[in-house]
Structure 1
Amino acid sequence: MRILHVIYSLSLKHGGPPEGLRQLAEAYRQEGIHLEVASLDGPDEDFLRELWFKVHALGPVKSVYGYSSRMLPWLRSHIHEYDAVVINGIWQYNSFAAGRAARGRVPYAVFIHGALDPWFKKTYPLKHIKKLLYWRTFQYPVLRDALAVLFTTQTEKEQAQLSFRRNRWNGVVVPYGTLRPDGDPAAQKEVFFSSCPAVRGRRFLLFMARIHEKKGCDLLIEAFSRISSCTPDLYLVMAGPDQVGWKATLEKQAGQLGIADRIYWPGMLEKDAKWGAFHAAEAFILPSHQENFGIAVAEALACGKPVLISNQVNIWQEVIANGAGIVADDTIDGTHSLLTKWLELSENERIEMSQKAFACFSNNYSMRGAAKAIREMFEEELKATGKRSAGKHALQATAN
C-alpha cells in the first residue's frame, strides 16, 4: 500500500505532529507500507536530508497558515499515484488543499492532533471567532467528506464535538504512541550531558515540550519554587524550542522566585540527546493545559520513566490505571501536588513505578498499532469500493 501524508512541516520545532509522523514512518516500514510525505517546508531545509522516506517539499511558506501556490497543483497531478492520503492537522493550507485534491479520487483521513479541543475556544476567544469564518466554508467540508477523522483517545474524540456546531464526521479512535528507543542508554546519556553539562551528576526532573503557555511552564516554575528549599539537590531541565519567545519571561519568573540557578534550558533536544535526557532524569513532568495525546509522555514511558502529568493530558486515565505516574489538576496547586507526591515516594516505590511505566508503554502506546489500524481502515475501504491499488500499478509502470 502507498500512503501519502500531507503536513504543514516536518520540522521538530513544531512539536508533536512532525515527531509523531517520523515515528509512524518507521512503523509503516515495519508493516510494509510505502510512505511519502508532502509538506510546506522549503526543499533546502537541512533536516529533510536526515529523513529516509521521500518528502515532496512544496514550500517555503511565510505565514502560519502556509499558503503555497505549488501544493494544490502538485496534489492534483500526483494524488492518483497513492492508495490513500492522511492529512495531518487542520487550520492550515495543507489541510484544505489535500482535502480538495483527494475528494472523490482517493480515500483520505484527517489526524486532528488536538486542534478541536475546546480549551482553545475558551483561552483564545478572538481567534475562535476568526476560525468560525474559516470553519464553515473551508475546514468543515474537509472533515465531513473524509473516510475518517482520526483521534488518538476517546476523550479527544468527545471533546472535539464541543468546539463547533457543525460536526458531522466519521470519528475514529486509532492507537498512537511512539517506537521503543534503540541504542545504548549510557552512550545516549553522554550525548545529553554534552548538551547540558551543568546537570551531570545531579538529580533532575525533565520537562520536554514546546516552551508555550499551553504546556503549563509557568505553573511548573512556580510549583518548583515551593519545594526547592526542602529538596536543595533537585534540579529542573526545561527542554524544548521557544517558538513564541516566552523563555525570557519564564527566566525572569525563575529569577524573581530565587531558583534561576536550579533550572537548565538546553533548547530542543533531538535523537540521542533526547533519549539521553529521558534516561538520565528521575521522572518526566508535563502540567499541560491541553494535550490530545502527548508524544513526549509516551517517549518517557518507553524509557521506563514515571510521568507526572496534568489531567488535561488525554492519556492520564491509562497512566493512573497502569500505576505509571501521578496525575493532578493543571493549576499551581495541582503541579505542586505532582512534585510533593513524587518526593514522598520511597526509593522502592519509585523503582516499582518505573517498571510499571515501561509496561504501560508496551501494552498501550506502540506506534506499530497505529500503522496497522490505518492500513486496515484503508484496505477495507478499497475492498468495499472495488478499487485496485493505484499505487501498485504506478510502481509496476515505473518498473516496466
Structure 2
Amino acid sequence: MKVLQVIPSISLEMGGPTEVVLNLVRATRQLGVDVEIVTTNDDGNALLDVPLHQRVLYKEVPIWFFPRAAARMKDYIFSADLAPWLWHHIRDYDLLETHYLFSYAPTCAGAIARRQKIPYLVNTMGQLSPWALAQSRRKKQVYSWLIERHHLNRAAVIHCTAAGEVEDVRNFKVKTPIVTLPLGVNQPHLLPDAKQKLRHVYGISPETPVVLFLSRLHYKKRPELLLQALSTLAEQNQDFHLILAGSGETGYENELKNLASSLGITNRVSFAGFVMGEDKDLLLQGSDFFVLPSFSENFGIAVAEAMAVGLPVVITPGVQIAPEVATAEAGLVVEGMLEPLVEAIAQLLKSPSLRQRLGDNGQQLVKQRYSWEAIAQNLSSVYSAVIHKKKLPEHLVSQSSLNKVFSVY
C-alpha cells in the first residue's frame, strides 16, 4: 500500500494534531506501509525553513512541502503550488487521508481524488463539534453547503477518535461509514526525582502541590477559567502552584498574565511557554495533577499524555475522551463552570491518596487503549479494506455505519 496524508500545516503552533500525524505516520511505516505527508511550509506567523517541491525527511518522516501563500488566511492556508502537484501525482498513491476541514489542502485533495477516482479518508479533527462550528459560523455554513458536506459524503471512510466525534459527524448529516480509532501516546522517558527537579527549576516549595495546564494558550482551552478557580482556592488558603505550559498569540498571553495579576495569584503561577522533549517530560512527571477545562477537544492528546505518566486529570465533557476517563476513574470530569471546577481541584489538592488512585487508573487506561502500535495496525487494516473494496473491520466501525465501503466515484 502507498498512502498519502494531506494536512494544511505541521507547525508546532497547530498543537497536538501535528504530533499526532507525525507519530501516526511513523508507527504505520514501521508496519511496512509506505506512507508520506504532503503539506505546506506554514509555521504560524512564520515559515518553516525546509526544502520545497521535493520529498524530504523531516522529523524522521517523508514529507513533501509546498510554499504557503504570503498571507496565511487563518486556518485556510492556501498554497498555489499544491493543487498542480496533487493533480499530477495523486495516482502514485493507492489512498489518501486528509486532516482538518474548512481548509485548502484537504478540500483540494478531496476534489482531485474524486476526479481521478482515488479513495480517501477524512479525519475531521473535531471540527464538527458544536463549539467549533459556532466559530465563524456564517463562513462555515456557506463552505459546508458548497463544499464540505459533499467532501465528507463522498469519502470512503470518516476517521473519528472518540464516540463524541462520531455523534458530531452524524449530526452534520454525513452518511459515510465511520471508524473510531483513538490517538496514541508515546511511552514516556522516565526522569528520576522529577518532582524535586521541577520544584527546583520553578522555585516551588517541596510541599506545594503543582497543578499543570499543558496545551496551546487559546480561549478554547479556557485557561482563564482555571486561573479564576485557583484564585477562589487561594482565598480559601489552599496551597498550590500552577504551571501554564504552552504558547499562543502574544496579546492573549498578556491577557492571562494580567488576569493572574488582577486576581492576586501572580506569585503562584508560572508561564513555562512552549515545551517539548525533556522539558515537557519534566512538567508531566513532576506535577501533581493536570487540568484542561476546554470548550472542545476532538480527543485531548495532552490528557492522554498526562495519564500515561500517572497524572490524574480534571477535564470537561467537551474533551471527547471524557467518557473513557470517567469510566476508568482516571480523573474528574466536571462541567466547565467555576464552582464545579473549584470543587474538583480542591478534592485533588486535599487528597494525595485520591491523586494516586486516579493516576494509577489512568496509566492502565493508556496502556490498554492508546498504544501507537495497536492504532497503526488497526488503521492499516482500514486502509487495506478500502483499497481492496472489502468490508471494514467490524470492531472499528461505528454502530451507526453500514459495514461496507461506499463508492466514492
SS at match of 1:186: coil
Q: Which residue of 2 aligns with 1:144?
A: 153
Q: Does 1:324 align with 2:330?
A: yes
Q: Does structure 1 retain, via aligned residues, the 8 Å contact 2:95–2:387?
A: no
**Cα separation, 2, equivalents of 1:268 and 1:191:** 19
Deviation at 1:382, TM superposition (A): 2.1
Give how far 1:199 is off.
4.5
Letter of the structure 1 residue corresponding to residue 325 of structure 2 = V
Residues 349 and 132 of structure 1: is their aligned pair in 2 closer, same or farther, counting only changes over 3 Å?
Answer: closer
Q: Report the alpha carbon displacement of residue 77 of structure 1 after superposing the two structures with TM.
A: 1.6
2: CA distance, partners of 1:257 / 1:227: 11
Map of 1:167 onto structure 2:
174
- 1:133 pairs with 138, 142, 149, which one? 142
1:132 positional shift: 1.4
User: Where does the alignment leave 5 or more consecutive residues of structure 1 unmatched?
Assistant: 386-400
* Identity percentage of aligned residues: 28
Partner of 2:407: none
CA-CA distance at 1:230 after TM superposition: 4.3
Partner of 2:399: none
Match of 1:291 in 2: 297
The one of 119, 127, 151 equivalent to 2:131 is 119
Compute the displacement of 1:296 (Å): 0.3
Give the alignment partner of residue 86 of structure 2, picking from 75, 94, 97. 75
Distance in 2 between residues matched to 1:249 and 1:147, nearest whole Å: 44
Contact 2:11 2:42 in 1 (8 A): no
Q: Does 1:59 align with 2:67?
A: yes
1:354 correspondence with 2:359? yes
Equivalent positions of 1:25-104 (< 5 A) are 25-41=25-41, 45-46=48-49, 51-61=59-69, 62-63=71-72, 64=74, 65-103=76-114, 104=116
Which residue among 273, 281, 291 is the counterpart of 2:279? 273
Give the 3-state SS of the residue equivalent to 1:146 in structure 2.
coil
Could you tell me whether the CA contact under 8 Å between 1:192 and 1:272 is conserved in 2?
no
TM-score by length of 2: 0.85
How far 1:49 moved relative to its partner?
Answer: 7.0
Q: Take 1:373 and 1:326, find their aligned partners in 2: how far apart are those partners?
A: 29
Tell me the equivalent position of 2:386.
381
Secondary structure at 2:98 match in 1? strand
Q: Deviations over 1:64-117 (max 9, x none)?
A: 211111111111222222221110111110111110222243221011111000
Sort the Cα spacing of 1:37 and 1:244 in 2 relative to 1 into closer, same or farther, 3 A: farther
Number of aligned positions between the proteins: 377
> Secondary structure at the residue paired with 2:140?
helix
Letter in 1 for 2:143: Y
Are the aligned partners of 1:175 and 1:373 in contact in 2 as well (CA < 8 Å)?
no
Displacement of 1:277 in angstroms is 0.9
Matched, 1:203 2:202: no
CA distance in 2 between counterparts of 1:188 and 1:351 reads 16
Pair 1:121–1:6, CA change in 2 (3 A): closer
Tell me: CA distance 1:188–1:2, structure 2 relative to 1, closer, same or farther (3 Å).
Answer: farther
- Structure 2 stretches of 5 or more lacking a match? 51-55, 391-409
Partner of 1:251: 257
* TM-score, normalised by the number of residues in structure 1: 0.87
In structure 2, how many angstroms separate the alpha carbons of the residues matched to 1:16 and 1:132? Answer: 26
- Separation in 2 of the partners of 1:66 and 1:214? 20
Task: Report the Cα offset of residue 46 of structure 1.
Answer: 4.7
**1:12, CA displacement in angstroms?**
1.4
CA distance in 1, matches of 2:218, 2:39: 24
Given that residues 95 and 383 in structure 2 are in contact (C-alpha distance below 8 angstroms), is that contact kept between their aligned partners in structure 1?
A: yes
